Chain A
Amino acid sequence: MRGVPSVKDYLPFIVVGVTAGSLYGLAGMGLVLAYKTSGIFNFAHGAIAAAGAFAFYELHATLGWPWPVALIVALGVGSLVFGLGMERVARAVSGARAATTIVATVGILLFLQGGLTLLFGSQTRDFPQFLPTETFKLSSVHVQYAQVIVAVIGVGLAVALYAFFRFSRLGSSMRAVVDSPSLVSLTGTSPVQVRLIAWIIGCGLALLSGILIAPTLGLDASLLTLLIVQAFAACAIGRFSSLPLTYAGGVIVGVLAALATKLVASTPSLNGLPSSVPFLVLFAVLVLRPPKVMARIGDVRRSVRRVATVPSQVPIAAVAVGLLALCIVPFVVGSRLPVYTNLLAFSLIFLSLGLLVSTSGQISLCHAALAALGATTFSHLTHGAGMPWLLALLLAGLATVPLGAIVAIPAIRLSGIYLALATFGFGILMERVVYPTALMFGGRGFRLAPRPELGFVDGRTDKGFYFVTLAVVIVACVAVFVLIRGRLGRMLRALSDSPTALVTHGLSVNVTRVLVFCLSAALAGIAGALLISFPGQASGVGFASFQSLLWVAVIAIVGRRVLPAAFAASALLVLIPAYLPDSLLQYQTFAFGALAVAVAVLGQTDWRARVRGRSERTPVRERTVARRAELVTS
């Protein structure tokens, strides 16, 4: 097979790539459409596509409806239901900070994916191709009619949508809503209605892409949900604004991934390459072409509410009671002690996430990957290099810092959405490409790590390890407390109020943002080390990229006081399920998703003001700040 590869060798891959790419482009256009008109970036877009595929499957394969009827019903009903629902959620969180909007749509993702898994189970089902599968010869390649139909639908819709926006009245209202909703409403068009239509079309495109891609991908809720990454990459090429370019971007991603598949066939060491193509494209666009259009955040309505991330007074009594309780736990819980050790280790994960989300308003959707890196580094250092336990623990934390910086630096120059996007893609890339390498979990898929023997306490017993973990958690809590009570905390609060003012007073705010991200990464790394040391071994499964989403949902549910929230979130994720019957465990994703959405939506109402009988939604002063992130570069 060596020698000069001819075009003929590549043609089959290009055909496959264009077909798949058309669907990525369709999904991407739906995403851009809704994002442009509502300002809300929908992380649940892939989950909606999955729901569409399942609905169609039920109607067509299970109930035996003819496919055109099933398609029309699934698309029509689905886009109305999801469009209405998404618009409600988007409207509720529209004035909130970026982190809240991300949590809301990640919550919907979890809710849908959890729900689909509950209904249909988690095994992949075959999804019969319903379009004609007869082939014809194009040059030397057999092409299915289904592939042609899919590509034609993609191109057709891209052209139709482009024309719609350019030439129709509703299309221009949609473009106008992006620039100024209030002006649009002055001209007698309701911005809410315009956005609703955008959401309906956007969700419709998601559903259609899900239904069309399921025959090749198989019917699997989590696989279909991850279709979003390809759509992200398509959007990035379309600069999150141009529909035709987004479609083209989808095709580019599809073709590149297909060509990578061919490359892998001859070079097996590049196994993870095809699935990481979309992420590489996304990252390349963020790094190389940080487009100005992307950075515009639009109108931000904010309220003056003092959100206490740290109390002004230390509640000494509460801290003492908590500490005392944690100290007597090993003597009263008996065989459940491992649950409590996990509780402590996870409280460190949530401390790390809370530090990032609550104080700086940034979000990381790759915390599981950071923790995994901490765990495997710890394994290399102790089990591999024989380093002392405590030193290895610290180094495991330090090792994650450069990784955090690599992800954060390109994305942080832009706005919150792009950090979420970059970290989301990065988490998946790590899981698929780096986890299986010798750098991390290796070919066997797991790593070993010892427990500590620290002279004064023997960590090899469960009780001993519990106290070691407790000590680490206490040190981390004190460190975080000191940091956010001091200068860094002040800077971060000011940053969430007015980055512009902070920059014009001399602070390089991006340094501050990256700094917090790196601190958070270090804590996650230490937590990962504890999570591998306790059971003695760990595999990539516990650090699946999906966990990152779940963790973000959980931390959003419990509130914004960093320290109590860390323990509350950990209790929600680890402790409560341990006391519930196992049969309830399958509802976890679903329930956390629903709760995260509810908290994000309801959190926008100032309930205390409501109780006091005030009519305004925001208590003191409402102001509209046309914020341009492009002005906040330093």
Chain B
Amino acid sequence: MTEGLQAQDVTVRFGGSVVLNGVGVNAPLGRLTGLLGPNGAGKTTLFNVCSGLLRPTSGTVRLFGEDVSSLGPAPRARLGLGRTFQRMELFDSMTVDENLVVATEARLVGARPERQLFSTAAERTQTRSAVDDAIEACGLGPVRHELAGTLSTGWRRLVELARACAAGFRLLLLDEPSSGLDGEETERLGTIIRGLVDERGTGILLVEHDMTLVMDVCEHLFVLDFGTLVFDGTPAAAQTSDVVRAAYLGSESGLEAAEHEHEAAEVGSA
């Protein structure tokens, strides 16, 4: 297994409440790993810990074999860890194209003031081709010159994903990339992220509520409940796990329900 991101024994307390309790997950390169859990289970908090936006109370984060626990978000990004946000953090007053350019350059220049001032011709060519590839891969051609802030949620999710692609991250944390998307858009999203893993060997950790998407694309699942890891295994095993069922949808057989819905949809479209 190729080394990627490993969060070990992460505990986060906000005042008295324990948001994450000794959680460990790993997301190797070339694998699409799902992170599930009901609202408030601590998924986004775990993302914030992994990307360096939040210091955990205890626990370590390793990135490509290196302990990055003491690094801030920017150095972690420079090592190759990218993320998207559930609430979408776009550069709203800039065009889609500029969004991608800035993101690519951000990773390129990092903390060096002289490179923040000027770009070289070689860098510009490199940036251009990375941006063009990402726009192509995510199908953003039609909107590339529109202001990001004016786009619909579906496009915005794709812009955020494309931005991370252009920056060339080897490991991506995607926080509910399909929320607010319609069925067709979700399917396209699934194809794109599967493509990233299969063609580029990117490692992805995916937080998602859309069961269909998760079961379709993920190779491995982690399930969180009230800040505790309750499941670690394959999607197939998750479907039959009572713990997951209880945690995720109470007594209802949620995953099964989602499966049925999926089948019904397939029958309907056939």
Q: Identify the A interface with B (CB < 8 A).
A: 302, 304-307, 483, 486-488, 490-491, 493-494, 496-498, 500-509, 511-512, 515, 620-621, 625, 631, 633-634
Contacts and interface: CB of A to CB of B under 8 A. Distances in A.
Given A491-B106, A503-B53, 16 more contacts: A304-B150, A486-B119, A488-B117, A491-B109, A493-B102, A497-B90, A500-B85, A503-B77, A504-B77, A505-B164, A506-B78, A507-B74, A507-B109, A509-B74, A634-B73, A634-B111
Contacts of B116: 487-488, 491, 507, 511-512, 515
Interface stretch (B17-25, B28-36, B93-101, B202-210): B93-101
Nearest to B114: A515
B163 interface: yes
Given A483-B117, A493-B91, A498-B90, A504 B149 contact: no
17 contacts: A306-B147, A487-B119, A491-B105, A493-B94, A494-B99, A497-B91, A500-B89, A502-B106, A504-B83, A505-B164, A506-B74, A506-B75, A506-B77, A506-B106, A507-B107, A511-B111, A621-B149
Nearest to A502: B106
B53 A631 contact: yes
Contacts of A625: 87
B91 A494 contact: yes
A305 B147 CA distance: 9
Interface string B202-243: 000000000000000000000000000000000000000000
B167 interface: yes
Contacts of B54: 631
B45 to A, nearest CB: 12
Contact of A498 (B73, B89, B164): B89
Contacts of A500: 53, 85, 89
Contacts of B42: none
Interface in B182-217: none
A498 B85 CA distance: 12
Contacts, number: 130
Nearest to A621: B149
A184 to B, nearest CB: 22
Contacts of B118: 486-488
A633 B55 CA distance: 11
B102 A490 contact: yes
A601 B254 CA distance: 52
A247 B108 CA distance: 48
Contacts of A506: 74-75, 77-78, 106-108, 110, 167
A486 B110 CA distance: 16
Interface in B151-180: 163-164, 167
Given A503-B73, A504-B51, A493 B93 contact: yes
Given A491-B116, A498-B91, A511-B116, A504 B82 contact: yes
B141 interface: no
Contacts of A493: 91, 93-94, 102
B255 interface: no
A507 B107 CA distance: 6
Contacts of B90: 497-498, 501
B166 to A, nearest CB: 9
Contacts of A487: 105, 109, 116-119
A482 to B, nearest CB: 9
A306 B74 contact: no
B150 A620 contact: yes
Query: Which of A307, A498, A503, A504 gathers the greatest number of chain B CB atoms within 10 Å?
Result: A504
Contact of A501 (B75, B91, B113, B149): B91
B65 interface: no
Interface residues of B, number: 44
B103 interface: yes
B240 to A, nearest CB: 36
A483 B117 CA distance: 7
A504 B150 contact: no
Contact of A305 (B53, B78, B93): B93
A307 B93 contact: yes
B259 interface: no
A147 B185 CA distance: 72
A620 B148 CA distance: 11
B40 interface: no
Nearest to A620: B150
Contacts of A512: 116
A508 B110 contact: yes
A621 B89 CA distance: 14
A305 B148 CA distance: 11
Contacts of A633: 72
Contacts of A508: 72, 74, 110-111
Contacts of B94: 490, 493-494, 497
B261 interface: no
Contacts of A504: 51, 53, 73-74, 77, 82-83, 89
A631 B119 CA distance: 28
Contacts of B85: 500-501
Contacts of A304: 92-93, 147, 149-150
Contacts of B107: 505-507
A634 B149 contact: no
Nearest to A483: B117
B102 A502 contact: yes
Nearest to B79: A506
Contacts of B149: 304, 620-621
B203 to A, nearest CB: 16
A489 B269 CA distance: 49
B91 A507 contact: no
Contacts of B78: 506
Contacts of A483: 117
Nearest to B53: A631
A631 B48 CA distance: 9
Contacts of B77: 503-506
Contacts of B113: 511, 515
Q: Which 3 A-B pairs have the closest CB atoms?
A: A304-B149, A506-B77, A634-B74
Contacts of A497: 90-94
A334 B108 CA distance: 53
A479 to B, nearest CB: 10
B150 A634 contact: no
A256 B147 CA distance: 54
B250 to A, nearest CB: 28
A306 B98 CA distance: 13
A507 B110 contact: yes
A168 to B, nearest CB: 25
A307 B92 CA distance: 11
B115 to A, nearest CB: 8
Query: Which of A305, A497, A506, A621 gathers the greatest number of chain B CB atoms within 10 Å?
Result: A506
A493 B93 CA distance: 8
A492 to B, nearest CB: 10
Contacts of B102: 490-491, 493-494, 502, 505
B241 to A, nearest CB: 33
